Homo-oligomer: A and B are copies of this chain.
């Protein structure tokens, strides 16, 4: 499990959310209040949009709290749309290539969750990634695979539908492997204009996901950054949100998993 946050709205210094909150992302890296993994210190990452169409990534493997570069960069960088993530590995190695957010073209993606039996299904997962995207498969996480599969499913033109189809395919695979939990999924992704987030699980334990509407934008976060749930909206299970400017649209996010107890490949 991991923790993340994202911002879309007016230009804002990244450290305002990453560091300068009671329950900031860096605070969550050492003391997450929600969920079963209080420590999220297996690397971190940022993606922010500025001049170019493609976002800028900064990732490293140390705990977020001790990285002087992270403090510097977030203090000096402003963006109207950024994603930030701290990782707690569910098995794969601590390496920059396994740090979120992942990117391809103008898209960025980050995830908190897991696919059951990841080690058993990883080869099949890798085979699901479109051939022309495989050279962008840099690490070994199921999260990166979900993203690249979603891109192949049409993320450019159908950002929520493509992600839903990717989740369906991965959950189907996971169910075949028989390892619980089949899929837990809280994610956030963007093309630099809109910000998308979704929350889903194949069991009762969908990872936490909240958002808050501010005067000048919207924050999406695994945990309320001020430690005050009253100010925040929980994203309901089986739901995606899409936000652009101050506009928020709610979509269903209900994978149709075709698995019925036997091999469906």
Grouping DSSP codes into helix (H, G, I), strand (E, B) and loop, the A interface class, with mixed when no group exceeds half, is mixed
Q: Give, as a whole number of angstroms, the nearest-CB distance from A15 to chain B.
A: 11
Number of contacting residues on A, CB 8 A? 43
Beta-carbon contact of B51 and A138 below 8 Å: no
Q: Which 7 residue pairs of A and B lie closest in terms of their CB atoms, listed nearest first?
A: A56-B76, A119-B135, A123-B134, A66-B94, A95-B95, A57-B72, A56-B72
Scan residues 36-59 of chain A and give those whose CB is less than 8 A from a CB of chain B: 39, 41-42, 50-52, 56-59
Contact of A61 with B by CB under 8 A: yes
Beta-carbon contact of A78 and B62 below 8 Å: no
Q: Give, as a whole number of angstroms, the nearest-CB distance from A123 to chain B.
A: 4
Q: Give, as a whole number of angstroms, the nearest-CB distance from A163 to chain B.
A: 22
Beta-carbon contact of A59 and B63 below 8 Å: no
Closest to A13 in B: B51
Knowing A93-B97, A122-B134, A123-B129, say if A63 contacts B63 (CB, 8 Å).
Answer: yes
Beta-carbon contact of B95 and A72 below 8 Å: no
